[in-house]
Structure 1
Amino acid sequence: MECKVLDITINSAKGLQDVNLFFKMEVYAVVSIQDYNITRDNTCMQITPIDKDRGRNPEWNSPMKFFVNTFASQLSRLTLVVELKADKKFGNKDIGEVQVPIKELLDSFVESNNERSVSYSIITPSGEAQGLLYFTYKFY
């Protein structure tokens, strides 16, 4: 089983749907790699710090590392999932989600020391695209 390391930095999001009525949103991201042949594994989940200041346009610049099974990714089984959530006193609220096939990231990555910067549309719980998630990544 060949593995690669995915170095990813969750940078920011812009234009999020505001899920708070009276207060500024405090937003964080839950990042995981999911294999569709395996039941959801919460041990591979990483969380950014909460951005308490920027509301609909949070910034984290939060670096993370994941180990990626390249065989599973070439079979299109692996997906990078970034869930955006609003931190609330009486239960967190889902803002939206980004799902990116790992195969897509691997195929578009040029083997070098340079990180690749990308942005993806955020899909709200109602299924609409609203806002963008920005991150950088590289494999080695």
Structure 2
Amino acid sequence: MAAQRCLYVEIRSVNGLSSTPKRPYAVVSVRDREKNLIFPKEKSKVGKDGSSGLGFKFMAIFYINVASAQNNGLDLAVKLKSKRWVHSNDDIGVVCVPITELLEGFGDGTEDHEKQVTSKSIVTSEGTEEGTLEFSYKFGRILQEPPKELKKKFRRAKFKKDAKKLIRKLTIKGGFAAVIAMLTDLLQESVR
């Protein structure tokens, strides 16, 4: 298995938005340049109605395949959203940072480093830069294999994604009984 490094990301705050969103939250993920998820998303709790700056204090942990990050151009993506009661949630903006850029100050993975704090511009849904996202990050030492908890998390995320696709497909084609049968099969596979 390829060498992995643990990436610890703490979303600290958002500053400089012209209108402060109500009930903000962050969705953090690692994706490739085609925006395919490489690792399951991590979602912060919904914050309280904000003032001029939004504080999150939210920690996400990802295991990064170093070779894949360098060859395939992986990005750390932080989507900022605003929770709404009635309609779908509003997109505030997104910050995308190449993993290779984050890796630069962390050497070859044989020794520990202090976490680094940085600020990046938020790109709104209109495509303009507005405000900044402050976050800290740190890479751990190189591991040859991710922990067992991570493997379970991947299986659960894949199961949820597959189950949602099947429910949509089968509800249209075969009705409720077909959905139940397929979900039962999926559950039996995921237990193995």
Greater C-alpha Rg: 2
- 2:36 equivalent to 1:40: yes
Cα distance between partner residues in 2 of 1:16 and 1:26: 14
Aligned with 1:108 (options 105, 113, 128)? 105
Q: What TM-score do the two structures reach when normalised by structure 2?
A: 0.64
Q: What amino acid does structure 2 have at the position aligned with 1:108? A: G
Q: CA deviation at 1:54?
A: 1.9
CA positional deviation for 1:51: 1.3
Q: How does 1:1-140 map to 2 (within 5 A)?
A: 1-18=2-19, 25-36=22-33, 40-41=36-37, 44-89=40-85, 90-109=87-106, 112-140=112-140
Query: Where has structure 1 moved over 6 Å in runs of 4 or more?
Result: none
Deviations 1:18-75 (A, max 9, x none): 37xxxx61110100000236x7238610011111132452111111100101001112
Judge conservation of contact 2:30–2:39 (CA < 8 Å) in 1. Answer: no
Give SS of 1:52's match.
Answer: coil
Counterparts of 1:100 and 1:2, CA distance in 2: 21
Q: Which of the pair is proportionally richer in strand?
A: 1
Distance verdict in 2 for CA 1:56–1:87, change over 3 Å? farther
Which segments of 5 or more consecutive residues in structure 2 lack a partner in the other structure? 141-192
Aligned length: 135
C-alpha distance in structure 2 between counterparts of 1:56 and 1:25, whole Å? 11
Q: Which has the higher helix share?
A: 2
Question: Residue 95 of structure 1 aligns to a residue in which SS?
Answer: strand
By how many angstroms is 1:76 displaced? 4.8
Q: Distance in 1 between matches of 2:118 and 2:8?
A: 13
Cross-structure match for 2:159? none
RMSD over aligned Cα, in angstroms?
2.0
